[in-house]
Structure 1
Amino acid sequence: MFHNDYIVAGGEYHSVREEFDGLQRAGVEARLLLSDNEGLQSASARKQAVKLLTGREEYERCKAEIARFRPDVLHLQNLFPSLSVGVLRAAAESGVPWVRSLRNYRLRCLAATLRYDGEDCRVCHSAATGIPGIARGCYRGSRAASAGALAVNVRDASLSRRSAKRAYIVLSHAMKKPLKAQLVGERVFVKPNIVTIPEPEAAPTPLRYDAVFVGRAVAEKGIETVLETARRAPELRFAAVGTERGDWNGAAGWPENVESLGVLPQPAAVEVMATSRTLLVPSVWAEPFGRVAAEALSVGAIPLVADRGGLPEIAQLLAADLVLPHDVVHPWVSAVRHFASMAPQELTAWRTAARRVASENFAWRPLTDRLINIYREVSGVD
């Protein structure tokens, strides 16, 4: 398994490791080869370009690892930017079948989000031909960096086609449509992320909050919807994990009934979710999956999610009316108040059902079995 970590760890960091741990728990002999972007940050523009476009160092590293381990199948996770060229070149030369998990929209969009200037964007049909993305500086707000990203994607597309036995994994059915052109003629499997399912509670968790938000204070995550919901429901108690009051400079300010808990380790963030009636996920971009919504289910918090990307596929497993419009605040206020005023017995039934849904759909064993079956289908090895 090959993966390029981001400098700031997010849901992808935990999802990749949960997947790898699941394979080991299932008795699969596996290796995880990691890279990161630390070295690129301090390198000159010229050195960055040479490193990314030739991929020489990572190619030699990956080639040696493949020869040493002799795997039946390669699992490629996030490769951009450091691993893209090197891993794909080594994979093509080895002839080993590979499966690639797509955790964002980078095959189509230089920014990987299908967003530009606060709006949905479908201007570029491919990240390997995304000239408009260069003009707009879509990658890191820089035309030069965007040109480099496009060049890496050109090499990525070319090298990917050199492997005869290959397949792609997407995290939700919603991911298929915007990536349709990039995946035409390819084998594509849908497999959601694994989340840790806590042991059943010995006693009910004391509820401290009516709603919690877990994420960065950025427009794409819908932070303003969270804050406006709190303003309109001053009698309720909210919490924000992953952000500080000073991180958001919206004109209306930060409501007094929103407690800012700052950045917490992932297990601690999940513990906060367990003390809340609901989790708010009002993302305005098309989340490929929405890990926090699945984690909320695992501890009995009710996920209220935006009608975007893969989020509805998670919340609808519990109830269809948990999916709310991403661009209208009133339904979010009504939903939070509904669960805040719910009788204890009824809320307990909801929380029990949420945990059951998580266990049935996101536990390590069934999803690891699904992944192993994908490996078998692509490699032909039983």
Structure 2
Amino acid sequence: MRILLVHNHYQQAGGEDSVFEAEGALLESNGHDVVRYTEHNNDVSQIGKLQLAARTIWSRETNRKLGEVVTRFKPEVVHFHNTLPLISPSAYYAAAKGGARIIQTLHNYRLFCPPSLFLRDGKVCELCLGKTLATPAIRYGCYRGSRSASTVVATMLATHKLLNTYFKKIDTFVALTEFSKSKFVEGGFPASKIVVKPHFIEAPEVKTPTAEDSVLFVGRLSEEKGIGTLLNSWIDSGSTRKLIIVGDGPMHSEVEAAVKKNDSIHWLGRKSADEVRTVMQAAGLVVVPSECYETFGRVIMEAYAVQKPVVVSRIGAVAELVDDGNTGLLFEPGNSTDLMKKVEQVFAGDTQQMARNALSYYTSRFTPEANYRQLMAIYAGDYHTSAAHSHEGSVRNVA
């Protein structure tokens, strides 16, 4: 199959960039002819503000260049990841001219929320959900802390909602979880156009689960990630259980202060993916105390792959990835007492069985092989066939 992948890279590489690369490699390893069309946000600094604003709403350059690629390559499928800001929705029009199936992965909530996370001042915010023009985002300057930048993104979204670009030009949207899908449906997207396919990771070398009774947090040190709740759990309870924190972010000073108050808390700073895997292998469980919706929970998938149970806040997409009582436990978001209670409950139970359950959850849903089958079903429009194999993944089509 001839497949064209389209992505606007971020200045600081993140999850979307990784998924774009991983899915491309997966397709090529299975014998498909893959071409990539990319732009990079490092080029933004070379573009004037007015030109960038116009290009964000409708990029003539991308429309022309991508059109040439489509004419030359004749893709059967064009799969979009991120189009903001340099590619723009004009790319959908260029892609559609070749008659290919158009797929868009919904990595975030950008099609409703300019900053993409349904998050404002560290709290969940849905003021723009379902609106044609995201006026609250403009009023609060939600995108990059700028009213002018927020206006540009909101105008882009409104323009293409009025043109019906997203529904006319895109055949299938790929949400990462049922929760994420539900938010798009709530905002007016037809459920029949959205399927659910999670991310995947390569299977690491699986070692015998360690007996160490430590807890690991991996992520950005910020309010919405629940780092404050996590620290309070240890400080307020005086827990002597080892807590390992990996990551960096705006709340690093709070983490440093907590380390001084409770010597069971250890901050390792930012680590590479390989280093994180090594630390995770040695931990007893992984904690994900998010207080925002998220669209997925990659660290949960990584924990399962190395046989680690999880303690996760009962909110949004991350809660959906937990088989409560089997692969881990859920706690009330923002409740530091409940978090510590659930941590101790895991260690008081059969952690070895939970570890086996976690690995089983990974192998049935998050392997490259399962993901490839789901991706092919999506490209073929054969959602129901894939849904019949519920233990091989979670591609579903609910009209």
Identify whether the pair has TM-score above 0.5, normalized to the shorter chain. Answer: yes
Distance 2:84 2:131 in 1: 12
Aligned to 2:201: 195
Distance 2:324 2:32 in 1: 30
Change in Cα spacing, 1:250 to 1:39, as seen in structure 2 (3 Å) is: same
1:240 Cα offset (Å): 1.3
- Corresponding letter in the other structure for 1:9: A
Match of 2:95 among 91, 98, 110: 91
- Cα distance per residue 1:254-275 (max 9 Å; x no partner): 4432222222222322222221
Aligned to 1:160: 165
Matched, 1:44 2:48: yes
Distance 2:351 2:138 in 1: 50
1:102-121 correspondence to structure 2 within 5 Å: 102-121=106-125
1:173 Cα offset (Å): 0.5
1:253-272 correspondence to structure 2 within 5 Å: 253-254=258-259, 255-272=262-279
Deviates more, 1:303-312 or 1:292-301: 303-312
Change in Cα spacing, 1:200 to 1:218, as seen in structure 2 (3 Å) is: closer
Determine if contact 2:209/2:308 at 8 Å carries over to the other structure.
Answer: no
Distance 2:300 2:40 in 1: 27
Distance 2:111 2:282 in 1: 38
1:185 Cα offset (Å): 6.4
Aligned to 2:310: 303
Determine if contact 1:283/1:308 at 8 Å carries over to the other structure.
Answer: yes
- Cα distance per residue 1:146-182 (max 9 Å; x no partner): 0011122234433625745611110010012221134
Distance 2:113 2:326 in 1: 32
Distance 1:350 1:360 in 2: 15
Aligned to 1:235: 240
Determine if contact 1:92/1:159 at 8 Å carries over to the other structure.
Answer: no
1:248 Cα offset (Å): 3.7
Match of 1:284 among 287, 291, 294: 291
1:281 Cα offset (Å): 0.7
1:249 Cα offset (Å): 3.7
Helix, strand or coil for the counterpart of 2:381?
helix
Matched, 1:217 2:221: yes
Aligned to 1:326: 333
Aligned to 2:63: 59
- Corresponding letter in the other structure for 1:327: G
Distance 2:117 2:170 in 1: 28
1:95 Cα offset (Å): 3.2
- Corresponding letter in the other structure for 1:289: F
Change in Cα spacing, 1:164 to 1:107, as seen in structure 2 (3 Å) is: closer
Instruction: Mark the runs of 5 or more structure 2 residues left unpaired by the alignment.
Output: 384-399
Change in Cα spacing, 1:137 to 1:209, as seen in structure 2 (3 Å) is: farther
Determine if contact 1:37/1:82 at 8 Å carries over to the other structure.
Answer: yes
1:206 Cα offset (Å): 4.5
Match of 1:174 among 172, 179, 186: 179
Change in Cα spacing, 1:127 to 1:261, as seen in structure 2 (3 Å) is: farther
Helix, strand or coil for the counterpart of 1:18?
helix
1:73 Cα offset (Å): 1.1
Instruction: Mark the runs of 5 or more structure 1 residues left unpaired by the alignment.
Output: none
Determine if contact 1:107/1:127 at 8 Å carries over to the other structure.
Answer: no
- Corresponding letter in the other structure for 1:308: I
- Cα distance per residue 1:28-62 (max 9 Å; x no partner): 22223222211214543223213323312322332
- Corresponding letter in the other structure for 1:187: K
- Corresponding letter in the other structure for 2:334: D
How many residue pairs match? The answer is 374
Helix, strand or coil for the counterpart of 2:216?
strand
Helix, strand or coil for the counterpart of 1:235?
coil
Change in Cα spacing, 1:229 to 1:241, as seen in structure 2 (3 Å) is: same
1:230 Cα offset (Å): 2.4
Determine if contact 1:279/1:304 at 8 Å carries over to the other structure.
Answer: yes
1:15-54 correspondence to structure 2 within 5 Å: 15-41=19-45, 43-54=47-58
Determine if contact 2:96/2:102 at 8 Å carries over to the other structure.
Answer: no
Change in Cα spacing, 1:176 to 1:184, as seen in structure 2 (3 Å) is: same
TM-score with structure 2 length normalisation?
Answer: 0.85
1:127 Cα offset (Å): 6.3
Aligned to 1:124: 128
Distance 1:185 1:209 in 2: 43
Helix, strand or coil for the counterpart of 2:100?
coil
- Corresponding letter in the other structure for 1:259: H
Determine if contact 1:209/1:238 at 8 Å carries over to the other structure.
Answer: no
Distance 2:221 2:272 in 1: 17
Distance 1:57 1:260 in 2: 46
Deviates more, 1:97-106 or 1:6-15: 6-15
Match of 1:338 among 340, 345, 367: 345
Deviates more, 1:278-287 or 1:7-16: 7-16
Distance 2:189 2:336 in 1: 35
